[in-house]
Amino acid sequence: MAEQESAARYWVWGHDRIAYGPVELPGLIAWVKEGRVESGHWVFAEADAKWIRAGEIPELKMFLEMQPAEADTTSIAPHAALKPENLRRIKLFAEMGPAQLESLVKYMDVVRVKKFATVFAKGDKGDAMYFVLEGEVRARTLIDGKETTLFTMGPGDSFGEIALLIHGDRSSDVVANEDSVLLRLPSAAFERIVREAPALATPFLLALARVITSRSLALGREYEKSIRSARVLAQLRF
């Protein structure tokens, strides 16, 4: 009898940004039982030649459900400890007056994120915008199995703003490069601002439009540079 085809093999993308493997399904299940692989881990299935979340692999679901509750690497607190002057660190609020900042504070949450923790993952429902108060985070995506950093954000920067306007899915992962403190503006709170405080909504929307426009222009310039580089390489080949 002919030998059976080799079993499917998998690679696991670790928190240290290294791919571990290859490992066959029994070994992958063992890693789940040991707590080395959790639902949010990216797994490369050689048979399908693509990366998927561990929680999306049918053979792993039962074992993932048996894992103890994962220790939360983020904590969200209401705005009680947040002061209006804290918002002065955020570029988007730079031109707002003291009274506007004092009004804005009550709509915010404070989010503390541990190093390497995921703020949100690609495909998650967009339900909030974030501002970096302390620390540093990066937006990343996986291309051909390798991580590509789209941009890095430090104190004063903001991200996830499209979620306030369009409740679509996140287009990339955002991960903390170090312990960070973020401000979170839920989309529901933004809608309350529009209803309850039009005088606050107007300067906020104007600043938001500037941020989105600036980022779009920057992405456009990067795209042009990549096209030029691709053309130069194509010419060199001939």
| Segment 128-170, tens digit of pLDDT | 999 999 999 999 887 776 778 888 999 999 999 888 888 788 8
- Provide the pLDDT for residue 130: 95
- Provide the pLDDT for residue 35: 73
C-beta neighbour count of 126 within 10 angstroms: 19
Residue 133, both tokens:
């108060």
Q: What type of residue is 117?
A: A
- Residue 180, CA distances (Å) to 18, 34, 227 in order: 23, 28, 35
Q: Determine the CATH number of domain 74-227.
A: 2.60.120.10
How buried is 92 (Cβ within 10 angstroms: 0-12 exposed, 13-18 middle, 19+ buried)?
Answer: buried
28-32, 180-184, 215-219 — which one is most confidently predicted on average?
180-184
Q: How confident is the model over 8-42, as pLDDT tens digits?
A: 899 988 654 667 889 999 989 988 887 778 888 88
> pTM of the predicted model, to two decimals?
0.64
- Provide the pLDDT for residue 77: 58
- % of the chain residues with pLDDT over 90: 21
pLDDT band (50, 70, 90) for residue 1: very low
- Provide the pLDDT for residue 154: 95
Sign of CA dihedral 166, 168, 172, 178: positive
pLDDT band (50, 70, 90) for residue 171: confident
Do residues 182 and 175 touch, judged by C-beta distance below 8 A? no
Angle of CA points 139, 114, 65, to nearest 5°:
90
Q: Determine the CATH number of domain 9-65.
A: 3.30.1490
C-beta neighbour count of 62 within 10 angstroms: 10
Phi, psi of 212 (to 5 degrees): -65, -40
- Provide the pLDDT for residue 67: 64
Q: How confident is the model over 194-208, as pLDDT tens digits?
A: 888 888 888 899 888
How buried is 47 (Cβ within 10 angstroms: 0-12 exposed, 13-18 middle, 19+ buried)?
Answer: exposed
What are the residue boundaries of the structural domains of the chain, listed by start? 9-65, 74-227
Does the pLDDT at position 85 exceed 90? no
Does the pLDDT at position 75 exceed 60? no
- Provide the pLDDT for residue 186: 92
